[in-house]
Amino acid sequence: MPIEYRIDHGLGIVNHEFTGEISFADLAQHWRRFLSDPELPDPLVMLADLRRCRMLIHGEDASRLVHAVIQPLLKGRRWVSAVVADSNAEYGVTKQFTVYSSHCGETEVFREESEAVAWLLGAAAPRAKAAD
């Protein structure tokens, strides 16, 4: 599977790792499997690493993914997510995804993992926990 995730129960963060070429079908399958996992923490705080992948999707695909796959499975939950993308292509696709998914939660895109983790732990995670 080109997308794997691991739940860090101690920090309450889900780490996603994307590798290789990622298609719309890969993303849809991942989100269906991920959002059906009964062990997901609440609030849903995520760190996604896109540095070792190449996205084969465009803006329309991102919109379709959010509206047809993710939103129905979220069942009213919201997320806080930091994404690390070091290539311009993955950074751009992810920025489009943040626009289409803004009603699902807060997502920020970073070039450096240290900045993403600092933002997630220092700013986003406490806000997400306060919203409960």
What would the pLDDT profile of 29-63 be if each residue is shown by its tens digit?
999 999 999 999 888 999 999 999 999 999 899 99
Higher pLDDT, 63 or 131: 63
SS (H, E, C) 88-122: HHHHHHHHHHHHHCCCCEEEEEECCHHHHHHHHHH
Provide the Cα torsion 123, 111, 108, 102; round to 10°.
180
Q: How far apart are CA 64 and CA 113, in angstroms?
A: 28
* Low-confidence winner among 8-12, 59-63, 80-84, 126-130 (lowest mean pLDDT): 126-130
For residue 59 the two structure tokens come to 């803006």
CA 54 to chain centre: 15
Question: Which tens digit of pLDDT belongs to each residue from 65-107?
Answer: 999 999 999 998 999 999 999 999 999 999 999 999 999 999 9
Name the band, by pLDDT with cuts 50, 70 and 90, for residue 1: confident
Query: What is the spatial distance between Cα 1 and Cα 57, in angstroms, rounded to a whole number?
Result: 17
Kind of pairing between the strands at 3-8 and 13-22: antiparallel
The amino acid at 82: A
- Tell me the whole-structure pTM to 2 decimals: 0.90
Give pLDDT, residue 45.
Answer: 94
Between 74 and 131, residue with greater pLDDT? 74
Q: Of the candidates 82, 84, 81, which has an alpha carbon nearest to the alpha carbon of residue 104? A: 81
Q: Which CATH class is domain 3-130?
A: alpha beta
Amino acid at 63: S
